[in-house]
Amino acid sequence: MKIKNGICFLLCLAMVASCVHHAAKSTERQIFSSAYIARDFGEQDWKGLVWAPYNDCWRGNTLHDDAMDISHAGIKWVRVFFRSDSSDAALDLLVQHCNDAGVKIIAAYKKSYPKNDLGTPGQQLKDSARLAFLVARYKNNIHYWEIHNEPNLHGRYWELGKNAGQGSVDPEAPYNKGVHNYVQWLKLAYNTIKLQDANATVVLGGLSSYMAEPFVKRLTAEQAYQYFDEVAYHPYATTPDKVTDSFLRFKAMMKTWPAPKNDLPVWITEIGFFVGKLGHKGLNNEAEKAQAMKSMYEKLMANMHWKRPICWYLLHEEAPGKNYFNLTGLDSATGRKIFYPAYDTLRSMNKGWSYYKQQQMLMMNASPGAAIHNDDKGNSGGAR
């Protein structure tokens, strides 16, 4: 009997392996014709946040506390990293807390080993299987999947041959081969997601404003626009005006894509200002950070004709002593939670998208000599 059971077990394993292999081969050759139709989000959906890491980060602060802080600020969307090695139990708890708080999730998926390169066929198969599992598991809760994070930054997030040959049209240049590998993984992820949930929206991994242009040019050459439904961008800069200019430059880069891809909605899945010094000097104090945040949100909304979330980076760092971009933190002297002025500012901005866009327009029209941007729909936008 033990021998018979052992044989049956091995046969089952072989059948599962065959099915997985067949599914993987299908995703390699098939480009799904997505039923995707771009639609505007609600008036209150502009308020987003990066929430990471999703664990108990310091004494007395729980995942539930974080979710309530997010909800009380009127934040409607959180961007959370779904890593291939994330615990299912931790992700289940995260999704449950978001559901309870009325907060929607855009899942930024980070691949399994090697985390910054395409890997072998076997490694690609393993990663696709994990992604397929996650999409199927959270199909009723998560409908937006962002593929990786800032893949245009060499080494830290993707292998781009130390940027060697950047700007070259030679497909064998190390930089171009690196972009090609990202596009191959993007294609595999796109097909894997659509196979599990045909109605899911696949979002191009949020590109950093640093080194964005050469990467977008290679995406265009690779026709990567076939493998995503919407786009994410991180227009980090030192002032609200420079953030807006960065966003508009990125929109201009997209114009090289064929219609309707040249007019895809753009998510801002990371943006923020910091206090102190992180490589370069930031703002002087928390009050300045709050003022810059408010101005930035208003200027970006005035220049976005698709309503998509603008995700502030971030709720808090893992270590309580690091403030920088934080909305919440810990008072080391008292051990009590701190709500920084930026949190209060974001919470007080409780009007809808159209209100802030109109207010920004009125303010700019009242400013003598203000230069008005025009977006690609011909609508007036923010002042330079």
Please compute, for residue 64, the number of CA atoms within 13 A of its CA located in the half-sphere on the CB side. 2
Summarised one tens digit per residue, pLDDT across range 142-161 is: 999 999 999 999 987 899 99
Domain annotation covers residue 11 = no
Token pair 């600020």: residue? 73
Summarised one tens digit per residue, pLDDT across range 269-312 is: 999 999 988 878 899 999 999 999 999 999 999 999 899 999 99
Domain annotation covers residue 297 = yes
Instruction: Please check the confidence at residue 217 and state whether its pLDDT lies above 60.
Output: yes
Domain annotation covers residue 131 = yes
- The reported pTM is 0.86
Mean pLDDT, rounded, for 195-206: 96
**From CA 159, how far away is CA 164, in angstroms rounded?**
11
Which of the four pLDDT bands, split at 50, 70 and 90, describes residue 3? very low
Summarised one tens digit per residue, pLDDT across range 26-41 is: 444 444 445 567 777 9
Summarised one tens digit per residue, pLDDT across range 46-92 is: 999 999 765 555 666 788 899 999 999 999 999 999 988 888 998 99
H helical segments located in 138-262: 174-196, 212-221, 240-254
Closest C-alpha among 325, 315, 344, 321 to residue 333: 321
Domain annotation covers residue 57 = yes
Show Cβ contacts of residue 270 under 8 Å, excluding neighbours closer than 6 positions.
Answer: 50, 79, 206, 234, 236, 311, 313
Per the CB < 8 A criterion, the answer to whether 6 and 314 are in contact is: no
Closest C-alpha among 164, 154, 165 to residue 116: 154
pLDDT value at residue 21: 44
**From CA 270, how far away is CA 253, in angstroms rounded?**
19
Token pair 């709050």: residue? 290
158, 164, 170, 172: CA torsion to nearest 10: -60
Per the CB < 8 A criterion, the answer to whether 161 and 173 are in contact is: yes
CATH code for the domain of 331: 3.20.20.80
**How far is C-alpha 366 from the geometric centre of its chain's CA atoms?**
35
Domain annotation covers residue 225 = yes
Residue range of the domain that includes 66: 40-383
Which of the four pLDDT bands, split at 50, 70 and 90, describes residue 18? very low
Q: Which amino acid is at 357?
A: K
Domain annotation covers residue 191 = yes
Beta bridge partners of 206: 149
Percent of the chain with pLDDT over 70: 83
pLDDT value at residue 57: 57
Mean pLDDT, rounded, for 305-328: 86
CA angle 129, 110, 38 (to 5 degrees): 90
Domain annotation covers residue 278 = yes
Mean pLDDT, rounded, for 233-259: 96
Total domain count, the chain = 1
Instruction: Please check the confidence at residue 376 and state whether its pLDDT lies above 60.
Output: no
Domain annotation covers residue 6 = no
Summarised one tens digit per residue, pLDDT across range 253-280 is: 999 999 999 999 999 999 999 998 887 8
Peptide bond just before 114 cis, omega within 30 deg: yes
Mean pLDDT, rounded, for 8-18: 38
